[in-house]
Structure 1
Amino acid sequence: MRAVVEKFSLTLSPPSLADQRSDERRLREALAETLGVAPEIPLALLRKLPEVLRAGDFKISAVVGKKEHSWKVLGVYPGEGPEPLALAIDLGSTGVVLYLVDPQRGEVLARHSFPNPQIPYGEDILTRLHLASRPEGLEEIRRTTVEGLAREIRQLVGSDLKRLFYYALCGNTTMTHFLLGLPTRWLYREPYIPAVNWLEVLRAREVGLPGPPEALIFLFPSGGSYFGGDLLAGLYYVGLHRREGLALFVDVGTNAEVVLGNRDFLLACAGAAGPALEGGILSCGMQAAPGAVERVRWEDGRFVYQTIGGERPRGICGSGAIDLLAALFLSGLLSPEGVFRPEKAPERFREIKGEPAFVLADEEETAQGRPLYLTQGEVKDLIRSKGAMFTILRVLCESLGVGFEDLEEIFIAGSFGNHIDPEAAVTIGMLPDLPRERFRPVGNAAGQGAVKFLLEGGFGELREILQKLTYLEMNVENRFMQLLTGALFLPHTDLDLFPSVKEKVARHG
């Protein structure tokens, strides 16, 4: 495995009457000895090459970048030129994460996250898609996305921008279409066809991103409208396609995306289970950031919470919402049907927006001077989301005739995966009741997959994943609706599916 961008220091034999090779051939042959193939040299660099060679007395450095089946010279310098940098980008619907990488040393030098620049056009993707249905709307979203990315990249990289020779970007299919200005109207109309799945490596300037003139960008391909490059990057990172045993990959974002498989096959599906589980539709919901409640426990007859960074609470993120639901259930303040029991602790309940609400932290405790609470309606939303998640997992396994007990590992990805407590997720019936060591939170697998690509250049592996992939359309699965009903309880109507929770509930009385 080689990094996708490398610098080579070369001492070339100068031309003579006995060696009248062209400057271009001299450089290509020298690089071919190391790369195993002669790279292409763009015209802009050919124009500079004669002067560069002679300015360095034929001692030069060359930066080369990897395409799928070839290499390309991206820069030539007399003497020792700059050490190349690369940037991995996870372009999420809600947030963007940048990873600045030193590809030659295999190190991540810096990480930077910020809200998606498209958010002013709509919190949800459907609103943005509606705007993009008009050519001028699509161009506005494209320009806003590119300008926002470029601004943050310049802020992160600073004066080293001239060293930024390679990008790897992953995002869902809609995000990459927005970035490239590709028509999106057929993405959400049956039969849901993207404009393109796999793009060849492009020049970054074609997309509008900063860097040297010949800098390259690889955009992770999609497997379809609902199987984006972000999911592909996550699978590439955890190596599901190389495992002998059976495993699940779960990425909770705007949607819940799930892949079941091993080295022989990959079966994928997606469903609308994400927003509530990320805390995104709660009145007091927020992303996982300093001040977000990420842990809630029912201990010794009281609720104990923990915030990210130890700050005063500002809101509740997805993992905190799951913990809170589990704690309410175990405390007896929430029935298996998901109905509050305020008579058991009237001091913890208020009427907010015309419905009962459980108050986790009152005004005096929070950073904004407003209470943190969960309403009855939000409880129902959370239960619907967790029920959909569990049912997706169950239908996926049933479709192959395997049980949860056959799974060696369950990878939990996304910002959600950084903070989720599998114990709480099992308690509410969101994840199957398996030995807890089988659950493996992997954080931002998509972003880490983009970093891995920069360090290894796994074009072939990505092709392999796509070839093994089959997509199961959950919307046409009658079995999904049949099984969902039972999952709309805490943890489920069939408690035999959750023996450890059954025992825990009995212990709590």
Structure 2
Amino acid sequence: MATKPVVQEFLLSLSPPSLDDQRADEARLRQALAEKLEGREPGITLSVLRKLPALLRDSNFKIKARVAYDGRDFVVFDVLPPQDKTPLLGLGVDLGSTGVVLYLYDFLEGKTIRKHSFKNPQIPFGEDILNRLHYADRPQRRKEIHEVTLKALREETRKILSDFPEEALAYVALCGNTTMSHFFLNLETRYLYREPYIPAASWIDTLNLKELALPGHEEGFLFVFPNRGSYFGGDLLAGILAAGLHRREEISILIDVGTNAEVVLGNKEFLLATAGAAGPALEGGILACGMQAAPGAIERVRIDPETLKIELKTIGEEKPRGLCGSGVIDLLAQMFLAGLIDQRGKFLPERWPERFRTINGELAFILVPAEESATGKPIYVTQGEVKSIIRSKGAMYTILTVLCQSIGLDFKDIHRFYIAGSFGNYIDPEMAVLIGMLPDVPLERFVPLGNAAGKGTIEFLKNREAFSELKQILANLTYLEMNVRPEFMQLLTGALFLPHTDLSLFPNVARKVKLLKEH
């Protein structure tokens, strides 16, 4: 069934008034629209009431009415002559703690027409969220972060609108983690990181764009995705919306790897969520040669187990600048298959002595020599970094294991594994299984989602039922605190090997490694 967006345009031909029909212009419009809105009469803004009488008579009672849904009511926010061609646009905003992504959506065409990204301007206040929260302990400082965020969003929104008139932008849907949404709205943040970790608001009613002086229609709408507490933000709710876990009979898992690894397991009946510190190393975040998924980032690594010939693929096919998350996973898997590291992740330099070198007092494997890199410096991974990657991948696998076991499920019971984030755009599931980060299940069960949070904002704009779906998600959601699960540390120990100490959990990997050794 086709979805109905949060904003619609209707071409109406109203019956003119007469002595026999003395309804007010407003009533005439309201009743005509009720026929198209499931019998519900919409509200009408004051600006529409002011322009309606003249417009009706100038256009022979034929008009275009633009109607938005704010989660409770339909609202007529503009009326136009029938020949008017002003575009009707929405904006999806993924307000990440590091980067911000904007998606421009055309309601009339029913598609995303532009994408634009920029760095989060809050970074000077702290590289990580906790530092920013500490800085924002005073109201004036919190306001400072708020104003910097809004200023950047206004400027970048105007950039993505470019040649479109500002009044074409009718609706903005914004998601971010709980801290980001609080900074955006200048809500109290002091209690987000102090026990018992309480947000100022979980559900925020739809706002008007002019309340935050954002570009757009004078009556434009702003929806900020809700949260489920300090550590479960609107970005993850948007991801659930994009993946559609809450609509399916089958049980699936959503994995979003960022600063933390956030995981949601469930279906239309229940949703179980958790988070853990498995993100930075897997995204290349703590590697000396790590970088975000950007042009020049190594996203694919292949090492021939016999000849040790290295083949690389970079984003944008540019000269290599560093390793992004998928490249990190590939490198670890390929080094393992080529016998350059053992099951514990220990370097085996005797296998290829000329590629191992001591850098800053630590043994390192040189993936790209200095003369072949874009920076003129070698791209490498150290022994300590490999250990960190193994800890992160082990934590990821253990989080998935504990989550499934907590409700008596096995990985074979999971219909789909949705991999989100820029990480999910490039990851090779086969390599992630090889190192024991993801379970050894048929590869077709892994579905890359890309920026699930951003896609969730577009899903919201496309489907006004998203309001009720988000409430359903919140009602069905249970948060599992991983830190207090005693089995987590017990199970983690076995996952700190490649792929695991229990190879029966990874039969396909075990067969592949055995074949290579025999060969």
Question: Do they fold alike, i.e. is TM over 0.5?
Answer: yes
Q: Partner amino acid for 2:34?
A: A
Give 5+ residue unaligned stretches, structure 2.
none
Distance in 2, matches of 1:351 and 1:358, equals 9
Instruction: Report if the CA contact (8 A) 1:9-1:80 is conserved.
Output: no
Q: Does 1:147 align with 2:151?
A: yes
Distance in 2, matches of 1:298 and 1:387, equals 23
Q: What is the CA deviation profile of residues 36-79 of structure 1, one whole-angstrom value per residue up to 9, with x for unaligned ones?
A: 31111122332333333333333222211111121111212233
Q: Partner amino acid for 1:135?
A: P
Instruction: Report if the CA contact (8 A) 2:425-2:450 is conserved.
Output: yes
User: For 2:135, which of 131, 135, 139 is the aligned residue?
Assistant: 131
User: For 1:445, which of 432, 441, 452 is the aligned residue?
Assistant: 452
State the shift of 1:303 in Å: 2.2
User: For 1:208, which of 204, 213, 232 is the aligned residue?
Assistant: 213
- The residue aligned with 1:339 is 346
- The residue aligned with 2:477 is 469
State the shift of 1:213 in Å: 0.8
- The residue aligned with 2:498 is 490
Q: Partner amino acid for 1:316?
A: L
State the shift of 1:193 in Å: 1.3
Please list, as runs of the form range in 1=range in 2, the aligned pairs for 1:40-439 lying within 5 A after superposition. Answer: 40-81=43-84, 82-160=86-164, 161-299=166-304, 300-439=307-446
Q: Partner amino acid for 1:306?
A: K
Q: Partner amino acid for 1:34?
A: K
Distance in 2, matches of 1:159 and 1:53, equals 29
Q: Secondary structure, in 3 states, of the residue corresponding to 1:277?
A: coil
Q: Partner amino acid for 2:502?
A: D
Q: What is the CA deviation profile of residues 199-252 of structure 1, one whole-angstrom value per residue up to 9, with x for unaligned ones?
A: 111112213321011010111111222221111111111211122222111111
Q: Partner amino acid for 1:68?
A: G
State the shift of 1:166 in Å: 0.7
Q: Secondary structure, in 3 states, of the residue corresponding to 1:34?
A: coil
Q: Secondary structure, in 3 states, of the residue corresponding to 1:274?
A: coil
State the shift of 1:14 in Å: 2.8
State the shift of 1:418 in Å: 0.5
Instruction: Report if the CA contact (8 A) 2:146-2:185 is conserved.
Output: yes
Instruction: Report if the CA contact (8 A) 1:14-1:58 is conserved.
Output: yes
Q: Secondary structure, in 3 states, of the residue corresponding to 2:253?
A: strand
Q: Secondary structure, in 3 states, of the residue corresponding to 1:276?
A: coil
Instruction: Report if the CA contact (8 A) 1:303-1:327 is conserved.
Output: no
Identity of aligned residues (%): 60
Moved more, 326-335 or 42-51: 42-51
| CA RMSD of superposed structures (Å) | 1.5
- The residue aligned with 2:11 is 9
State the shift of 1:4 in Å: 0.7
- The residue aligned with 1:39 is 42
Q: Partner amino acid for 1:55?
A: D
Distance in 1, matches of 2:247 and 2:88, equals 30
Instruction: Report if the CA contact (8 A) 2:167-2:218 is conserved.
Output: no
Q: Partner amino acid for 1:464?
A: Q
Q: Secondary structure, in 3 states, of the residue corresponding to 2:31?
A: helix
Q: Partner amino acid for 2:477?
A: L
Q: Secondary structure, in 3 states, of the residue corresponding to 1:364?
A: helix
Q: TM-score, normalised by structure 2?
A: 0.95
Distance in 2, matches of 1:282 and 1:54, equals 68
Distance in 2, matches of 1:491 and 1:92, equals 31
Distance in 2, matches of 1:284 and 1:23, equals 66
Distance in 2, matches of 1:265 and 1:155, equals 41
- The residue aligned with 2:24 is 22
Distance in 1, matches of 2:67 and 2:243, equals 28
Distance in 2, matches of 1:80 and 1:170, equals 35
Distance in 1, matches of 2:516 and 2:211, equals 61
Q: Secondary structure, in 3 states, of the residue corresponding to 2:439?
A: coil
Q: Partner amino acid for 1:294?
A: E
Distance in 2, matches of 1:421 and 1:244, equals 27
State the shift of 1:155 in Å: 0.6
Q: Partner amino acid for 1:371?
A: P
Distance in 2, matches of 1:281 and 1:121, equals 20
Distance in 2, matches of 1:89 and 1:452, equals 12
Give 5+ residue unaligned stretches, structure 1.
none
Q: Secondary structure, in 3 states, of the residue corresponding to 1:269?
A: strand
Q: What is the CA deviation profile of residues 282-327 of structure 1, one whole-angstrom value per residue up to 9, with x for unaligned ones?
A: 1111111111100011224222211011111111100000111111
Distance in 2, matches of 1:346 and 1:19, equals 93
Q: TM-score, normalised by structure 1?
A: 0.97
State the shift of 1:424 in Å: 0.8
Distance in 2, matches of 1:55 and 1:129, equals 55
Q: Secondary structure, in 3 states, of the residue corresponding to 1:151?
A: helix
Q: What is the CA deviation profile of residues 455-497 of structure 1, one whole-angstrom value per residue up to 9, with x for unaligned ones?
A: 1112111111111111101111111111112211221122221
State the shift of 1:394 in Å: 0.6
Instruction: Report if the CA contact (8 A) 1:86-1:102 is conserved.
Output: yes
CA gap 1:27/1:375 in 2 versus in 1, 3 angstroms? same
